Structure 1
C-alpha cells in the first residue's frame, strides 16, 4: 500500500513535489495546507483535500508531511510534525540558523518519524560526473575545485528577495553547491572566506563568492551570480595528473591528462609566446598530454526524467528508509554541516575576514 502525504505550501515547489509524486507513483498526495486562498482552486482541480489548519494535517491519515513554505516558517512545522510522529520532508535550507536546525534534529531523534531535506541537486548530471572523476582517480588528487552557477536574470523571484523569508542566493543556491562539495571529500572544512554582495537586491545577497579550505589541503571556490552574461564553466577541477572541465548542466566537457613518464625536459632558452618571454607559462608539448572524454553516467531524457529524475531517486529512498530497507540518503548530520558552512560564510562577509573552523 502506498504511503500518503500532505504538502504544506502549495506554491512553485509544493506543486512541483505534487506533480513529481503523481508521475513517479511512489506516494499518494491526499491534500494540501496553505494560508493563501488563491491556491485553493488549483488544489481543488487536482482533487486534493484543502486542510483548514495545520492541526488538521497532523490528525490526518498522511504519514509524510512535505514542507514547501518560505524558509522562515520551516522550523515550527517540522517540529510539530515530528512530535506527531510524522515523516518530514523539508525544502532546503531548512532553517535560517544552526540553532534552529539543532532543535529540529533533537526532536527528530525522539520521534517515530524520519526527518530529511530535499537536496535534489545530488542527482544532477554534472555533479555525478565530478563524483566519478574523483572516485576513479582520473586526474589524481584534486587540489583546486571550482563550482559555479552563473545566471543573468538579475532579479530574485518572490520570497527569495526578502530577508525575513530567508531569501538570497546563499540560502537558495549555496545550500545545493555546498552540499555537493561536502560529499566529494571526507575532509573537514577548516576555513571559510566569503564575499557576499547585494548588487541589485535591497535586502539579500544576489552575488556570492566563497573560498573553502579543507583539512586535506583541498581548496574550493564557489560562485553564485545573477548578473553574469559571459558564464564560466559549471565545474573546473585541477588534479595532480590532469584537469577536467564540465561546461554545463548537460555534462559536456573534457579531461586533459598528463601521460605517464612524459615530464618534458626544458631548455635553458627563453620561449617567446603571446604572453612574452617565459619558461614557466610556455605551452606544454602535445605529446606529453592526452584528451579523454568525461566518464559516462546515467543521463535523464528530456520530458519526464528531465523534470523528475531526482524526485524518483529521492522519494524511492525515503519510502525504503521508512520501511527499513535502506539508510536515509540525505542525513541529518549532512544537513547540519551545510548550514554551519553557510553561517560561517555570513559571518566572514560581515567581518570581512576568514573564518577558521572545523566543520
Structure 2
C-alpha cells in the first residue's frame, strides 16, 4: 500500500511534512486547514485543498493522515480518522495524557488501522552520536548524561501560550528530550523522577524545566530546557569512567576526551590556584587530557516515512511504538506531579 497522505493542519509542521515526505516516496493526496490565509498558499503549491478535516477524511484517495493540529485536537482527529479507515500519524505529543493515548490506540486497533507518532528527533545526529558512544561503550561505564536545550528567544507564540491547547515547553520539546533519553538506553527501568518546572516569562505555560531521571543501570539523565538562558551550555555532556563527550549544538561541534598517560603519572601534590590550594581540582597540565573526534553517524529523517511504508507493506515493525509513546507521556505526568509536590517519584517502574 503506497502512502497517500492527507495533511490535517497546514501550518508550519503541516507544510513541512507536505514538502518533505515525498522524499520517501510518499504521495501527498490532500491537505486541509480551517484558516483562510493558508488556502491560497496550499493551492499555489499544487496541493489538493480541503477546508475542513471532515472533507479530507471523506476523500477515498487518502489512506493515511498526519495530524499537525494543536495538541488538544490530536485525540479528536485521531478518532475521526480511525473511524474512516485511515492510518494515523500524530505529531508529538501524540496525546495530552496517557488516558487519551489509550483511547486513541484502542480506536485504531478496533478500526484495524496503523497508529504511530512522529518522534522525528530520534533521527537527530547529535543524539545519535551520544547513543553510539553509549551502545559501543566508548566512555566505559557512563554515570551521567546531560541533555540541555537553551534559547535566548524568550517568548513563545500562538496557541503554544495556552494550557487548554496543550501549550508550554514540556509538551513542545520536553516530549523530545524524554523520548531521546528513553530511546538511548532502551529497556532500562527508571528508578526515580524529580522535576522542577517553572514559568519564567510566561504566565500560563511552562518555559523552563529540569527533569532528573535516575536509571536502574546507574545512569542519571539531567534534562534541562529554557527559552530564556542567554549563554547556551552544551547540547550534550556525557561522562563515563573512560572518557567524556561534549556535543555543543545541533551542528555537532565537540569532541571526545580521555585521560592522557601524562596525567596518570603525576605525583599527588597540592597546587596553589587563584582560589587557593587544591589537589584534586588543580589545572590539568598540557597532555594530561587527550582530545579525539566525535564518533560518526549517518542519519536521515526520511527514514521515518520509509519505516511507515514498510509497516504498511508488512515488511517492518514500527520504529516508534505506541508503548514507547505511552512511557514518555507517563514520565511527563510524573514530572508534573514531582514539580507540584516538590518530591521525587520513587520506584517509578
TM-score interval, normalised by the smaller of the two chains? over 0.9
Determine the C-alpha separation between the residues in 2 that align with 1:244 and 1:272: 28
Determine the C-alpha separation between the residues in 2 that align with 1:25 and 1:95: 26
8 Å CA contact retained: 1:162, 1:203: yes
| SS across alignment from 2:100 | helix
- 1:287 offset after TM fit, Å? 5.2
Alignment partner, residue 236 of structure 2: 235
Determine the C-alpha separation between the residues in 1 that align with 2:111 and 2:141: 41
- 1:55 offset after TM fit, Å? 3.5
Distance verdict in 2 for CA 1:261–1:280, change over 3 Å? closer
Alignment partner, residue 330 of structure 1: 320
Tell me how large the CA RMSD over aligned residues is.
Answer: 2.0
- Once structures 1 and 2 are overlaid, which stretch shifts more, 313-322 or 103-112? 103-112
Determine the C-alpha separation between the residues in 1 that align with 2:248 and 2:51: 47
Q: How do residues 145-224 of structure 1 correspond to structure 2 at under 5 angstroms?
A: 145-185=145-185, 186-224=187-225
- 1:271 offset after TM fit, Å? 2.4
Alignment partner, residue 136 of structure 1: 136
8 Å CA contact retained: 1:264, 1:288: no
8 Å CA contact retained: 1:119, 1:176: yes
- 1:348 offset after TM fit, Å? 1.1
8 Å CA contact retained: 2:263, 2:285: no
Determine the C-alpha separation between the residues in 2 that align with 1:274 and 1:331: 53
| SS across alignment from 1:109 | helix
Determine the C-alpha separation between the residues in 2 that align with 1:176 and 1:159: 19
Distance verdict in 2 for CA 1:107–1:259, change over 3 Å? farther
Alignment partner, residue 280 of structure 1: 280
| SS across alignment from 1:221 | strand
| SS across alignment from 2:332 | helix
Determine the C-alpha separation between the residues in 1 that align with 2:237 and 2:149: 12
Residue 351 (structure 1) aligned with residue 341 (structure 2) = yes
- 1:100 offset after TM fit, Å? 0.6
Select 1:342's aligned residue among 322, 332, 336. Answer: 332
Determine the C-alpha separation between the residues in 2 that align with 1:25 and 1:292: 35
| SS across alignment from 1:110 | helix
Alignment partner, residue 305 of structure 1: none
8 Å CA contact retained: 2:2, 2:309: no
- 1:51 offset after TM fit, Å? 2.9
8 Å CA contact retained: 2:161, 2:167: yes
- 1:198 offset after TM fit, Å? 0.8
| SS across alignment from 2:34 | coil
8 Å CA contact retained: 2:263, 2:284: no
- 1:183 offset after TM fit, Å? 1.1
Encode CA deviations 1:259-291: one digit per residue, 9 max, x unaligned: 589744643x43222332122223445555422
Residue 117 (structure 1) aligned with residue 117 (structure 2) = yes
8 Å CA contact retained: 1:264, 1:285: no
- 1:148 offset after TM fit, Å? 0.6
Aligned residue-pair number: 347
8 Å CA contact retained: 1:86, 1:112: no
- 1:315 offset after TM fit, Å? 0.7
Structure 2 unaligned segments of length 5 or more: list them.
none
Determine the C-alpha separation between the residues in 2 that align with 1:261 and 1:189: 38
Determine the C-alpha separation between the residues in 1 that align with 2:203 and 2:289: 49
- Once structures 1 and 2 are overlaid, which stretch shifts more, 278-287 or 243-252? 278-287
Determine the C-alpha separation between the residues in 2 that align with 1:62 and 1:29: 9
Distance verdict in 2 for CA 1:274–1:109, change over 3 Å? farther
| SS across alignment from 1:132 | helix
Determine the C-alpha separation between the residues in 2 that align with 1:240 and 1:286: 21
TM-score for the superposition, normalised by structure 1: 0.91
TM-score for the superposition, normalised by structure 2: 0.93
- 1:53 offset after TM fit, Å? 4.0
| SS across alignment from 2:111 | coil
- Once structures 1 and 2 are overlaid, which stretch shifts more, 70-79 or 34-43? 34-43
Alignment partner, residue 79 of structure 2: 79
